[in-house]
Amino acid sequence: MWPVILITAGVLFLLDNLKVLNVDWTQLWRLWPVLLVLVGLEILLGRRSLLGSLIVVILTMVIVGGLVLLLVASPSLLGAPEPAGVQRISEPLDGVEKADLQINFAAGQLDVRPLVESLSLIEGELNLATEHKPAWAIERSDHRASMTLRYPSGIRLGTWVRTDRWDLRLSPKAGLDLNVDVGAGGATIDLTGLDIRSLEVKSGVGQSTVTFPAQGRFAADLNGGVGATVLEIPAGMAARLVVDRGIGTVNVSERYRKDGNTYVTDDWETNSNRLDVKVEVGVGMMTVKEP
């Protein structure tokens, strides 16, 4: 059963990359009950005999193939649900010079970008797919702030079906330690103009795009699960990428030279603006390019 599912996931990623099929990965997770059906078939028939295993493979191909054909024929089948409500976040800067932000995002679309002409430390608009609201917390001490946005632990079922849309904007006037954990869906993280001190991004299923600032010196730790990870690094930023690759693929621009599992720009030793990145590629593709 599982090889058929992996092959199907690969076909969907390929069709999505070739623009043949516009796959909304955040909505695709609403089909998770199909997995229960397939697991049930595997337990009921697949473990009894060779004939039972063959029947399970055929039924799995029919069910999964039918769903793929249905999505191709009717891409609007999994339309996004109407938002259950909007939660807004706004915190004044109030002299904060250093801040850390932890984001735990379940499923949907997450957008992070810089604030423009604002006296706020953070502003956010959270379009929620259910009445269950994430918890927002901030602690201030002297000129520092610690911020957390996450769903309470213990909520498991909603993680697979919730498809929120979060739009978060951060101040370029405070140094930021940013930690982002995305379960399923897409993430667009635009750090242009922000004062980033450290960055950690962990993505589960879907595509994540990270646009780095053109200035600064900091380290980043990126973990891509199943899907595509795109890193946009400005040409004026020297970069070194240490890649731990599973069964995924890595594509980098021509300005990087390869040394084993390390990719580095020629100006790494001389440029005052440097980005040191550790990347773990699971099942999918990582692309490094200039914005």
What digits encode the pLDDT tens for the residues 48-102?
Answer: 677 777 887 788 778 777 776 666 655 555 555 555 689 999 999 999 999 999 9
Mark whether 131 and 23 lie in a shared domain.
no
- End residue of a domain, out of 76, 102, 122: 76
For the question of whether the overall pTM of this predicted structure is more than 0.85, the answer is no
Mark whether 63 and 149 lie in a shared domain.
no
pLDDT for 160: 43
Domains of the chain: total:
2
- End residue of a domain, out of 41, 76, 111: 76
Sequence-separated (6 or more) residues with CB below 8 Å from residue 152: 135
Mark whether 45 and 157 lie in a shared domain.
no
Instruction: Name the stretches of the chain with pLDDT < 50.
Output: 154-161
Helix (H, G, I), strand (E, B) or coil at 50: helix
CA atoms within 13 A on the CB side of 287: 12
Mark whether 107 and 54 lie in a shared domain.
no
Mark whether 118 and 238 lie in a shared domain.
yes
Give the C-alpha separation, 202 to 181, whole Å.
5
- End residue of a domain, out of 76, 98, 116: 76
Mark whether 50 and 140 lie in a shared domain.
no
Two tokens at 268? 């790494």
Domain of residue 50 covers 2-76
Mark whether 185 and 244 lie in a shared domain.
yes
Sequence-separated (6 or more) residues with CB below 8 Å from residue 91: 120, 121, 122, 123, 138, 145, 147
Contact 209, 266 (CB under 8 A): no
